Amino acid sequence: MNRRVVVTGMSGISPIGSTWGDVSKNLREGHSGVSANPELSEIDGMKTRLAARVEDFETPAHFPRKSTRNMGRVSLLAARTTEVALQDAKLIDSPLLGGGRTGVSYGSTSGSPPAMEVYFRLLSANSVRGIRPTDYVKFMSHTVPANLSQLFGVRGRIIPTSSACTSGSQGIGYGLEAIQCGRQDIMICGGSEEFHVAGVAVFDIMFATSSRNDAPHTTPRPFDRDRDGLVVGEGAATLILEELEHARKRGAPIYAEVLSFGTNGDGKHITNPDSDGMRRAMELALGEADLAPDQIDYVNAHGTATEAGDIAESLAMNKLFGPRMPTSSLKSYFGHTLGACGALEAWASIEMMREGWLAPTLNLDVVDPRCGELDYICGGVRAAATEIIMSNNFAFGGVNTSLIFRRWDE
């Protein structure tokens, strides 16, 4: 059994907007969400002062207290974007959510870091005083999908994906597979991440963060000769995936078809990206969809603006597609949203495909000659009638993902 799967609802919360209208405007006008973050200047030894934060997010007043007391910011971001996506899919308050044929496949790098800090104090203070029963629920690795299930009354499969920068893309991919094999009819899929200094420190210690602290608008610079590292961001995005005939019968809107998902492991270095492993993930997705490389019209790149990552990814794409492939990185606007990036970038890529344009990579002035020859989109928005697009993400641990979407014209 290999049932066709479509997207019937979408929503995202990003550093450049919490509606597609706002995000689209900022992408078109070349505005990024990167800014100086005073909180980082207080950390001894931290080189970067930059972050891409979601500004002015507040917990919706109508969310019940019995649910929100179990949620850190990572779950709250996911909950709000999921609520909007369910409304978009005409599923909010639907009995379909609790019928056992709707599930959740959702990722984040970890649970909510502030709740983890509460437990760390147990070690320094040698006391459990002040630790609340809900603190663990906020930071457990599956906190996001578990909280989404409780908030929306979902009684189907719960699939947590916690694989760093591929958490969101695996959330979509494993949701796709659950429907394809007939186990579920609808899957709430996506990824979420909340900003925390620990997430920045991970990359800063590895000399992988940008230190253009006095010029936030000039960084990150994926694929650029003068890039100096990534900028950590936050956000969330939700895609509602549904079996095609099930969606048609209930009159659901259809935004795109999800053709395939490829994922693999490098089996080599725990942090160094591997070009061959990246290429094999893309080949898996192409094979699953029975597509040739020349049938892909655009690749939304992982594009972190790190030297090793940009070069490995570019060479992988060049070897598979040749120099013709249009590509760009949305991390130049969002920052690296870690567990959310796969979902945010898939959402934006689908919307661009529907509207017939492609965002350029911001700050890409001179392509690094060590990167493979590709059709790097830079300098301005490009009109493009894309039919089939690919969205790629790669994570520490050698985890690689590739998703393929098709324009919905039926």
Residue limits of CATH 3.40.47.10 in the chain: 5-256, 261-407
**Which residues are 331's β-sheet partners?**
none
Q: Which of 142, 196, 246, 302 is catalytic?
A: 302
pLDDT computed for residue 127 by the predictor: 85
For residue range 151-183, list pLDDT tens digits in order.
999 999 999 999 999 999 999 999 999 999 999
Q: What is the dihedral of CA 176, 178, 184, 185, to 10 degrees?
A: 20
Which CATH superfamily hosts domain 5-256? Thiolase/Chalcone synthase (3.40.47.10)
pTM above 0.95, yes or no: yes
Q: Which pLDDT does position 225 carry in this prediction? A: 98
Q: Is 336 a catalytic residue?
A: yes
User: Active-site residue among 165, 189, 341, 378?
Assistant: 165
Cα gap 255→259, rounded to integer Å: 13
The catalytic residue among 142, 196, 246, 336 is 336
Give pLDDT, residue 1. Answer: 62
Check residue 126 and give its pLDDT.
84
The verdict on whether 371 is a catalytic residue reads no
Is 31 in the active site?
Answer: no
Low-confidence ranges of the chain (pLDDT < 50): none
- Positive or negative CA dihedral for 84, 116, 164, 26? positive
Which pLDDT score is estimated for 119?
A: 83
CATH of domain 261-407: 3.40.47.10
